[in-house]
Amino acid sequence: MITEETVFIIGAGASKPYEFPTGKELRKQLCFDLTERIKPYIKRENRANPHDYRSIENKILEFSSVFFKSSNQSIDLFLAKNTRFSQIGKIGVLACILDAENKSKFREEMDNEDEDWYSYLFHRMSEDLTKPEHYKRFCDNKVSFITFNYDRSLEYFMEESLSNSFTNVIYSNLDYKDFIPFPFLHVYGCVANLPSKSGNVLEYRKTIDYSKLDKLKDNIKLIFDRTGNELETIKSTISNAKRIFFLGFGFAKENLEALDIPKTINTEQEIFGTTYRFTEKEMEYIIRILCPPQIGYLSKSEKAMKKGNVILKNSDCKSLLREFL
């Protein structure tokens, strides 16, 4: 089990092994094939007539063209600067992520099982639970998740794994809110809540029509949509952690600002991060943000960089967790 207060800050790269797009791939989908992705949702909506379709298609084409020509790499940042596209942009994000959810793979189904950090993390959180009644202790893991991803794949994986690990109790009205109480804080929102939660709910891998897609769009949050309470919860979660793991996180300036880093971190915390395919110069820039200049000295190796209590490693998420979790 994980007994120290640990927060996982998750970026798009962490969901990539499970068939979800990276930020760059999401941009490409939104720019070049969004019309085709939204067509099935419109076709499943009986009230959508040819006029409605042409109107939606024209909005999509304009949005995709402008986003492409903007050269903005982040859809969040683009929509924050171009609010007239916020509605169709959110619908586009939903279509892409829900499509990825329907194609997502876990465990041995994965194309690259060696990068399956979800299974590794669940194993670390449950390896001491050896008796039927031990499922109650799963909630004793001291973990929190802050994610910049719109998908619910990690939450879904945790629920599915726990329920199938303790099959003799799962059918006795097990309430996930009691046994998976860990915060899953989506900085920019997510497509919907899982059925185990309240509010705007959608089953994982659920086929929906365009009208439902339109209703879900407000689940996607832009930079200016977040409330003060949401931000304070995120900041306090980071500040109270003893260990912080940045997984598949690109360290974009706007995302660091959303977390109020470096103000929310301190020199007593242990900080680890994946910097897969980062250059040495980029890693040095990040480590300067995460570690005050007066703390320790910078050491380098071919695939890692360390300063004070901060370690960055050019590796996948599972490799980092196996070494430091």
Residues 4-16: tens digit of each pLDDT: 999 999 999 999 9
6-10 and 243-247: which strand pairing? Answer: parallel
Does residue 86 carry a pLDDT above 80? Answer: yes
Q: Within a domain: residue 215? A: no
Please report the pLDDT score of residue 171 as a whole number.
58
Domain ranges, residue 27: 23-103
H-type alpha helices, the chain = 12-15, 23-32, 34-43, 50-70, 75-81, 86-103, 117-126, 153-165, 167-170, 176-179, 210-216, 228-239, 253-258, 280-290, 317-324
State how many domains the chain has. Answer: 1
For the stretch 262-304, pLDDT in tens is 999 999 999 999 999 899 999 999 999 999 888 888 999 888 9
pLDDT averaged over every residue in the chain: 89
Q: Within a domain: residue 147? A: no
Q: Within a domain: residue 42? A: yes
Residue with tokens 């726990």: 162
For the stretch 18-51, pLDDT in tens is 999 999 999 999 999 998 888 776 665 545 555 5
Asked if residue 165 lies in contact with residue 135, where contact means CB atoms within 8 angstroms, the answer is: yes
- For residue 28, CA distances in Å to 33, 70, 280, 287 come to 8, 13, 27, 30
Please report the pLDDT score of residue 263 as a whole number.
94
Q: Within a domain: residue 74? A: yes
Count of H helices and E strands in the chain? 15, 8
Residue with tokens 């439902």: 212
Q: Within a domain: residue 175? A: no
Residue type, 203: E
176 pLDDT band (50/70/90 cuts)?
low
320 pLDDT band (50/70/90 cuts)?
very high
191 pLDDT band (50/70/90 cuts)?
very high
Q: Within a domain: residue 305? A: no
* 3-state percent breakdown (helix, strand, coil) of the chain, nearest 5: 50, 10, 35
Q: Within a domain: residue 84? A: yes
pTM given for the model: 0.92
From CA 193, how far away is CA 132, in angstroms rounded?
Answer: 28
Q: Output 181 or 115, whichever has higher pLDDT.
A: 115
Q: Within a domain: residue 68? A: yes
